[in-house]
Structure 1
Amino acid sequence: MEDGQEVKVTQNIPIAEQSPLAAESQRSQRVRRRPAWMHDYEVAGIDQSEDPLTHFALFSDCDPTSFEVAVTEPKWRKVMDAEIAAIEINDTWELCDLPNGQKTIGVKWVYKTKLKENGEIDKHKARLVAKGYMQEFGIDYKEVFAPVARHDTIRLVIAMAAQNSWPIFQLDVKSAFLHGDLKEEVFIDQPPGYEKIGNEHKVYKLKKALYGLKQAPRAWYNRIKTYFLKEGFQKCPHEYTLFIKIEDGGKMFIVCLYVDDLIYTGSNTVMFESFKKSMMAEFEMSDLGMMHYFLGIEVLQSSAGIFISQKKYVGEILDKFQMKDCNPVNTPSEFGLKLNKDEGGNKVNSTLYKQIVGSLMYLTTRPDIMHAVSVISRYMECPIEIHLLAAKRILRYLQGTKEFGLFFKKGEKSDFFGFTDSDYTGDTDDRKSTSGYVFMLGTGAVSWSSKKQPIVTLSTTEAEFVAATACACQAIWIKKILEELHFKEDGPTLIYCDNTFQKLRELLGVCSRAALKEDFADD
């Protein structure tokens, strides 16, 4: 806070005397009618004659949705004070008069309770967020794109660490977006509850980015990239969030960045300590120790290898969709079942269906469900009962396989190889085929995909060519990453495929587009 400046809290009563239900008395008591479009829905309403206290207990553990509610609880007041202090220490803004012709961008508080991997409360966070939707392109911002690490890259780093018996550590940058320098002039309102007494009419001019600004992620990435390059790291040209440093004697150090979370590994423990001290001197950091929970992935590092899974997340999905007590099945999809749009089927809740599909897509350690999820994702526009049953079958499969994950064995030479296959006209609605591939590095899968092909193929031969081409493209990208990581591979990458079509191509011939894909895959 500035010397001599007083900060007022926009509340007229002491915190201890405020009630979480204070806002209730200010709300209109008008009886609201159900909208016409909801007349066909069953709505679980609340009897307005009941005492609000009977329902407050149901929501007492929820994160507050407004400053007026949060300020009544000391735990949230404490983290808000910490957020403002971090902004002030970082010299993020300066108080000034609003120039003529300029407009301010509003701000609001956002609250979140962070949980540990076992579901226990880790910490409470309050974030001051700019209302980025008020920004105008070309005036308040120009470029917004910022890269994040692909999950394929993260798994590659884990596999490399396991192969070389390297430990993986984790750091978290506190208030990362506040470190990004702004090129544009941006003015914001004073934050609720922290207006400067006597200067309420003034605004803040931002020197650095604030959460919520459209250009904030890009500003932060440019800041951390500049720091890494200054420290002697090389940015991987094929993965912009992967930074590699090679020192005398071939000592390697690898950093993989995902917004404000980063993991690092390497061949020399001295480099670990040097890097950590340097980062903590440059930014305010949280040292999370050995990598154990990253992007929802549970990581177990042992003398045998590295095991990654998402047991906690699977449990959350099953609980969310009321499937935690369901009977497990042995496969994610029913053998021989062919789904289609079938417009005559009974429609189901599309929102629920989309939520299930979206939740399953975050299972980034489960290649065993990728094809089943890919198939059900085709019917999100208008799902029917059979589609919902197929989605729930995947949940039932997860019920019996919560412990499943990927294991990367330590210390043994890792070969990089892949598998690819396709069906033929598997989608009965548009007669398109599906391509699938999976790549292994040592004992664990590092990249996989199952996607419907963009064209209608005229034969099984052409469908196989399309699948092999997609697989070859991914293999080229992964090999480029592995080369940057100094992974030595003798000879070309081995890809296993159904080569029956090779025996028939001279007899049947192939069309020109298939021939091109054949030549590419062969190369």
Structure 2
Amino acid sequence: MDSEIKAIEKNDTWELTDLLKGQKTIGVKWVYKTKLNEKGAVDKHKARLVAKGYKQKFGVDYKEVFAPVARMDTIRLVISMAAQHSWPIYQLDVKSAFLHGELQEQVYIDQPLGYVKKGSEEKVYRLKKALYGLKQAPRAWYSRIDTYFSNAGFQRCPYEHTLYIKSGIAGKFLAVCLYVDDLIYTGNDDDMFTKFKNSMMAEFEMTDLERLHYFLGIEVLQSSAGIFITQRKYALEVLEKFEMKDCNAVAIPAEPGLKLTMDPDGKKVGSTFFKQIVGSLMYLTATRPDIMLSVSLISRFMERPTEQHLPAAKRILRYVKGTFDFGVLYKRGEKSELVGFTDSDYAGDVNDRRSTSAYVFMMGSGPVSWASKKQPIVTLSTTEAEFVAATACASQAIWLRKLLEELSYEQQGPTTIYCDNISAIKLSKNLVFHGRSKHIDVRYHFLRDLCKDGVIDMVHCRTEDQFADLLTKPLRSAVFVKLRGLLGVCSRKEVVGNGADDGCWSFLCKLILKEI
């Protein structure tokens, strides 16, 4: 607590003053937390002075509150690029980040408990800078750090406002990803690393965490084999939270052919408990594309879960029990272009007969972006369902291409997207409207323009080689395990044990792409 007050006063966060007539104060409270590292050991004890932001009124105490954070797709893309080019990734943590944000509004708070100034008990603090808990604190901090990066010569990526890039002479390069007060940075020049770190430490009070090893609950293992990301510790915490740590493991997260319905006559289960399971598993999909479909399926029934839905959710937890140390491996030196896979499950939803769209993008040995989502419209054929899915995939491809261009890794030629439906490929390349396609919404036909302009190249692949099939429907165990391996999902033991000599995935992937 003394350290927190010292940091606040050192940063000139507030000033003691009399409360002006007509103004009201916002209370503060102390929040205590024990922070753990990736091994579960105590890292440090923290005491945070937090403002009671729920007492603030819009238009009086704050106006705008939005502040961007890095997307997981961007973080995985940066990690994949670092692995391909054998770049190290480092991490910095800003101490009391929100205390650096400049406030535009007049905000008054009570003196904190235990630190009331003797002889000035009736006075209050006027905040000059943001305090944790304030509605506008994240926005104020982002404005402050964004200004710093601009003054330091960084260019903000126009397609990802938390990605900053600095280019030096002779191809030198530095990229920084910002997630609130956590920064990861990588590049190809040690001098730029040193200058950036020293500059940040001179501007803010920082903790140098050296090589990236634990970020947002994601464990990062940098080795000679490549970069392996996993949420092993988080997965174990989820199992313990829902009392599934001693359950029997299963080989696949969903039974083949599983069809869940709304079940209005079924016995209702606790919606809060069910939502907690879905929310916890949803964050686990940051490094686990193999459970993306199953989690998406159960998330459709959070409003009124029944006894039919809870076993499906618990089965995913049972699968996680047997694969808690699984993650994605990005191998070093395997430079390759961005490759996409798109697929759909026609009329897979029993209730509204909507299809499920899925895509996955690979760079090197691992996926950088994936999704499984129910389509917003009812399609009338498998061709239309595949066409709609391919359009969503193409939109993501454009964004990824622009990100790679900003990261000095511009894609040469069109991005290949593999699809197992020949009719959808023909429809994307031929500018004709016939009886089976004239009703398709015009917004989906921009895929034709992308193919015509050479941005996207739709290529046919066999269904058994369709990576995205894992994200559209529950599969048999043998097929599921095969596709899971092709997606670069493996256990930590395999990475540590096999090291750089494990070329099984690389050989298998190249063989399949050659056949395609």
What TM-score comes out, normalization by structure 2 length? 0.84
Secondary structure of 1:385's match? Answer: coil
1:100 matched to 2:21: yes
State the distance in 2 between where 1:504 and 1:194 align. Answer: 72
Q: Would you say the 8 A contact 1:419–1:439 is kept in 2?
A: yes
Residues 250-297 of structure 1, C-alpha deviations (whole Å, 9 max, x = no match): 100010000000001110011111111111111000011100000000
Corresponding residue number in structure 1 for 2:268: 347
Aligned-pair CA distance for 1:508:
5.3
Choose from 121, 126, 139 the match for 1:205. Answer: 126
Q: Supply the AA of the counterpart residue of 1:211.
A: Y
Q: Would you say the 8 A contact 1:435–1:467 is kept in 2?
A: yes
Choose from 474, 479, 483 the match for 2:401. Answer: 479
Choose from 366, 383, 396 the match for 2:288. Answer: 366
1:513 matched to 2:440: yes
State the distance in 2 between where 1:369 and 1:352 align. Answer: 19
State the distance in 2 between where 1:318 and 1:187 align. Answer: 43
Moved over 3 A (4+): 502-508
Q: Supply the AA of the counterpart residue of 1:353.
A: F
1:386 matched to 2:313: no
Corresponding residue number in structure 2 for 1:3: none
Corresponding residue number in structure 2 for 1:142: 63
My pick for the range that moved more, 394-403 or 89-98, is 394-403
Structure 2: tracts of 5 or more residues without a match: 451-516
Residues 91-141 of structure 1, C-alpha deviations (whole Å, 9 max, x = no match): 000000111111111111111110111111111111111111111212211
Corresponding residue number in structure 2 for 1:56: none
Q: How many residue pairs align between the two structures?
A: 444
Corresponding residue number in structure 1 for 2:411: 489
State the distance in 2 between where 1:297 and 1:408 align. Answer: 14
Q: Would you say the 8 A contact 1:466–1:514 is kept in 2?
A: no
Corresponding residue number in structure 2 for 1:460: 382
Choose from 145, 156, 181 the match for 2:102. Answer: 181
Corresponding residue number in structure 1 for 2:240: 319
Choose from 349, 365, 372 the match for 1:427. Answer: 349
Q: Supply the AA of the counterpart residue of 2:327.
A: G
Choose from 318, 327, 338 the match for 1:396. Answer: 318
1:235 matched to 2:162: no
State the distance in 1 between where 2:98 and 2:410 align. Answer: 37
Secondary structure of 1:379's match? Answer: coil
Q: Would you say the 8 A contact 2:401–2:411 is kept in 1?
A: no
Aligned-pair CA distance for 1:344:
2.0
1:165 matched to 2:121: no
Corresponding residue number in structure 2 for 1:302: 223
Aligned-pair CA distance for 1:343:
1.6
Distance verdict in 2 for CA 1:503–1:263, change over 3 Å: closer
Q: Would you say the 8 A contact 2:387–2:424 is kept in 1?
A: no
Aligned-pair CA distance for 1:197:
0.5
State the distance in 2 between where 1:517 and 1:229 align. Answer: 38
Secondary structure of 1:322's match? Answer: coil
RMSD: 1.4
Structure 1: tracts of 5 or more residues without a match: 1-79
State the distance in 1 between where 2:207 and 2:228 align. Answer: 24
Q: 1:2-13 counterparts in 2 under 5 A?
A: none
Q: Would you say the 8 A contact 1:148–1:257 is kept in 2?
A: yes
State the distance in 1 between where 2:290 and 2:273 align. Answer: 23
What TM-score comes out, normalization by structure 1 length? 0.83
State the distance in 1 between where 2:26 and 2:443 align. Answer: 53
Q: Would you say the 8 A contact 1:472–1:521 is kept in 2?
A: no
Q: Supply the AA of the counterpart residue of 2:167.
A: I
The structure number with the bigger radius of gyration is 1
State the distance in 2 between where 1:167 and 1:337 align. Answer: 43
Secondary structure of 1:214's match? Answer: coil
Secondary structure of 1:123's match? Answer: strand
Residues 315-339 of structure 1, C-alpha deviations (whole Å, 9 max, x = no match): 1111111111211111111001111
State the distance in 2 between where 1:95 and 1:162 align. Answer: 51
